[in-house]
Structure 1
Amino acid sequence: MTVDGAPTTRSGFVALAGRPNVGKSTLTNAIVGAKVAIVSDKPQTTRRAIRGVRTTPDHQLILVDLPGVQRPRDVLTERMQGRVESELRDADAALLLLNAEQGVGPGDRFIAALLKRAPVPVVIAVNKIDRCSKHETAVVLQAAADLEVADDIFPISARGGQGVQTLVDHLAGLLPPGPYYFPPEDRSDQAENVLLAELVREQVLRRTRQEVPHSVEVEVGEIEDREDDLIYVRAVAWVETDSQKGILIGAGGRMIRAIGTAARRELERELGTRVHLDLTVRVRKSWRTDERLLDRLGIE
């Protein structure tokens, strides 16, 4: 919409940065109002830059939930770090999310130094204040200010909703005037097969421990409409060792059945119809350094 040739709407991209497991995916889902990013208490849950789209009559805020910023240690994390830097260059603003429970640590300072070099305004949100006392919250808010990367700092609870609307209103005010990038009904730019694969991986993360969550990636290779409102989804869970495959399958196949049942329910909720999920586990040694597989999985 325009008035006398000038746009009356605002639209743009906000890059969401933070250490692994500070609640970026939860905040993305809260702002968008739909589940577009999987949630887990495991670090390195987000491996792709996920765009969540929030559209109102006067603005469209595209929130890019970046992979957890960290020092690269293999091809997978090198790609994740490269995507972080690329998204920051293309963003209209950046949002640094901190964990009130954990305070400000070396990882936060590492990210703050990265954001200081970004040519965009930076905002800080201190998450999980619902789990802290007023004194603890005041201490971490001061530590956030001491990072000297942002003038605007918002205490929030992404899970409970406290402070989220105030934060969104501020971010919307940083967006440049312009038309919308996405149709108003869109909530994400993820391809359907990627979104479904992530929903399956979420169930793997919820049920496995130690090295397994970091060594699993899920690929959806086929989505087919069949008779009687049934959708067939074929998915492969890639792991790096035979022992990880054994853990994922479980004694008598109990683990993979539990993962498949929970994942199927999530897929049915997302697709709004019955789903038959064909889930298998395969070994690809050192898949995190396999450039061709990473390309196929969409991890740029």
Structure 2
Amino acid sequence: MARAEGAAVSATRAGFVALAGRPNVGKSTIVNAIVGQKVAIVSDKPQTTRRAIRGVATRDDVQLVLTDLPGVQKPLDTLTERMQRRVERELAETDVALMVLNAEQGVGPGDRFIARALQNAPCPVVVAVNKVDRLDRAHIIVALQAVSELGVGDEIFPVSARKGTGIDALADHLFSIVPESPFLFDAADHSDLSPYVHLAELIREQVLRRTFQEVPHAVEVVVDEVDTAREGLTIVHAHAWVETESQKGILVGAGGRMIRQIGTGARKELQRELGTKVHLDLIVRVRRGWRGDDALLDRLGFDA
């Protein structure tokens, strides 16, 4: 992604907005809603977001660079340790912190931990209470009161990222508080993910939607090659890492049924993204303990 050049500081404003919250509160859906297109995959599984995915939203002379951070959690292995360190670095360097909570779940210990971490933040803190569409008015009021008692954030916005309710008001506020700056990315860009990583994430999303227990967390998808030699057809060569033969068996499924379902779902997403017919060549491979393998994590692009 190219950096924009030549914009006068006084003419434009731009800033980074880091989203902090427990796993599965809807940060990715909020990023997609503000950007206006899918830049982060969405699932009801924790650890869906492993990288600090940046979505870029530009309006006239203002630009937001939204960082969809991994959900704040207790590190369990080398992978989640790296994820947690990335969260801490991003929050220390951001222009605005956006704390996201799940209205349906209410305020929990994890939310209080994040709120304490943000109380002394050197940047403005905004709070979004997501999934209000799942509550009636009385319960929304109770949820907002509980959030206000956390003592963090200058503004609290009730939103439904899934339905779009309240997203415009939240985005308007974020656009209004970023500092004067040249644009950080080209106005036409929507994400800083490399094309191969973005395609791999779309495939992994289909794995997350169809697998349960440990399997979703033990899978990482890598796109090795994208062949566009034939007009109107894109061939995507990818493989999925798992940690054990039993996980491979689950992912492949009886008679290859599961991997075919994953491939069918992934092809639809890839075709929507690429605008062509897609042939997906997806191979499952076993790499024992990959989440604790520093060399592999480096190669996969997870910052140390």
Fold similarity call, TM over 0.5: yes
> Which residue of structure 1 lines up, in the alignment, with residue 93 of structure 2?
90
One-letter amino acid of the structure 2 residue matched with residue 211 of structure 1:
E
> Which residue of structure 1 lines up, in the alignment, with residue 14 of structure 2?
11
Structure 1 position 209 matched with structure 2 position 187? no
Deviation at 1:6, TM superposition (A): 5.7
Q: Specify whether residues 6 and 39 from structure 1 end up closer, same or farther in structure 2 by C-alpha distance, changes over 3 A only.
A: closer
State the distance in 1 between where 2:134 and 2:157 align: 16
User: How much is the aligned-residue C-alpha RMSD, in angstroms?
Assistant: 1.1
> Which residue of structure 2 lines up, in the alignment, with residue 197 of structure 1?
200
Percent of aligned pairs with the same amino acid? 66
Structure 2 residue ranges without an equivalent (≥5): 1-7
Is 1:145–1:151's contact at 8 Å kept on the other side of the alignment? no
Deviation at 1:8, TM superposition (A): 2.8
State the distance in 2 between where 1:60 and 1:249 align: 43
Matching residue within 225, 228, 242 for 2:228: 225
> Which residue of structure 2 lines up, in the alignment, with residue 75 of structure 1?
78
Runs of 4+ in 1 over 4 A off after TM superposition: none
> Which residue of structure 2 lines up, in the alignment, with residue 115 of structure 1?
118
Deviation at 1:58, TM superposition (A): 2.4
Deviations 1:73-130 (A, max 9, x none): 2111110001001111111000000000000000111111222243211110100111
Q: Specify whether residues 256 and 6 from structure 1 end up closer, same or farther in structure 2 by C-alpha distance, changes over 3 A only.
A: closer
State the distance in 2 between where 1:111 and 1:224 align: 44
> Which residue of structure 1 lines up, in the alignment, with residue 142 of structure 2?
139
Structure 2-normalised TM-score?
0.95
> Which residue of structure 2 lines up, in the alignment, with residue 249 of structure 1?
252
Matching residue within 225, 239, 243 for 2:242: 239
> Which residue of structure 1 lines up, in the alignment, with residue 5 of structure 2?
none
Aligned residues: 296
1:16-55 matches, within 5 Å, as: 16-55=19-58
> Which residue of structure 2 lines up, in the alignment, with residue 187 of structure 1?
190
Deviation at 1:189, TM superposition (A): 0.5
Deviation at 1:145, TM superposition (A): 1.1
State the distance in 2 between where 1:221 and 1:150 align: 43
Structure 1 residue ranges without an equivalent (≥5): none
Structure 1 position 160 matched with structure 2 position 147? no
Deviations 1:151-201 (A, max 9, x none): 211111111111111111111111001221111111001000100000000
One-letter amino acid of the structure 1 residue matched with residue 241 of structure 2:
W
| SS of equivalent residue, structure 1 residue 111 | helix
